[in-house]
Chains A and B, each alone.
Chain A
């Protein structure tokens, strides 16, 4: 069975701090896909990154970076020099079916960046 655990329910930081959001997943498949989505107060889910199980390269996109480690079944997300606009709920998700089919989500981490 698939499962995604985001142990941090809420995180509060001061602007310009770095913050890491943890994600641990469980799956029996050897092929799977991991995602991070951002949900701002407006409600929609905004896609941030997709990573397949064969690609363990870390990725950096501006202030965002992701650390994928199969050995620990983790896919952590770091925001460097956080900004108030980063305040949102962040979801980690897993799919076993080749694309975005039937995403299994973690419970989300609410990030508040204070000025």
Chain B
């Protein structure tokens, strides 16, 4: 069982609100990722980090921002939520420097903006 946690699991929020989705892992992994999953199921990488103070944008443009102040914590923030942000957000982590590692995923946050 993976030790990566996301909160909240479900969030319904009004347009214009600021929200932060939390992601924490206890495995000491340096690499962390955020994926956005469409209602049609496809997943796209929106942010990733290779360690503390390292953040990069992924393949899918996103209005969200991330920070990596501690190894175990990789929160995602939306300054002003809009209905187009309605989606599931999945956080993942993996080890650095191991050939046979895999990414461990959290259970996701299902965000609905009304």
Contact = CB atoms under 8 A, between A and B. Distances in A.
Say which size band chain B's interface belongs to.
20 to 34
Nearest to B2: A44
B101 A100 contact: yes
Interface string A65-100: 000000000000000000000000101000000111
A46 B2 CA distance: 9
Interface size class for chain A? 20 to 34
B41 A100 contact: no
A2 B103 CA distance: 18
The majority secondary structure among interface residues of chain A is loop
Contact of B90 (A45, A50, A104): A45
Contacts of A45: 90, 92, 105
A97 to B, nearest CB: 10
B31 A101 contact: yes
Contacts of B2: 44
A102 B59 contact: yes
Contact of A105 (B43, B88, B94): B43
Interface in B75-114: 88, 90, 92, 94-95, 98-108, 110
B110 A99 contact: no
A99 B40 CA distance: 26
B13 interface: no
A103 to B, nearest CB: 7
A98 B31 CA distance: 13
